Every structure is written in C-alpha cells, then in structure tokens.
Amino acid sequence: MFMNEKPIFASKIFSIHNLSIQGNNINLRIRERNRQAVSAILNIK
C-alpha cells in the first residue's frame, strides 16, 4: 500500500543546518523538515 509520492525537490523543505569550510573542502549539513539530516562534502578543485 504505497501513496503516490511527489518528487523530493517539490515536496520537501530543506534548511542549512551546518556549513563549515576547511581548505578546499566544504562540509554542508542539510536538515530536512522531518528532522532527518543529510551531510554532503564538496571538494573544490
């Protein structure tokens, strides 16, 4: 029994929880509306 879900970019609201820059690495932590947190590390070259 599955509900028809909308695309995640249309149905979710994200907010930046933590942003830290260390050298060429950008550590971005995004908190979702339902309190789940997603981390992303961006390596700038």
> Which pLDDT score, from 0 to 100, does residue 26 have?
78
**Confidence check: pLDDT of 11 > 60:** no
26-44, pLDDT tens digit by residue? 777 777 666 666 777 777 7
Mention every residue, 6+ apart, whose C-beta is less than 8 A from residue 12: 32, 33
Pairing of the two strands 14-22 and 37-43: unpaired
**Confidence check: pLDDT of 10 > 50:** no
**Confidence check: pLDDT of 2 > 70:** no
Average pLDDT value for the chain:
66
Residue with tokens 């690495």: 25
More confidently predicted of 25 and 11? 25
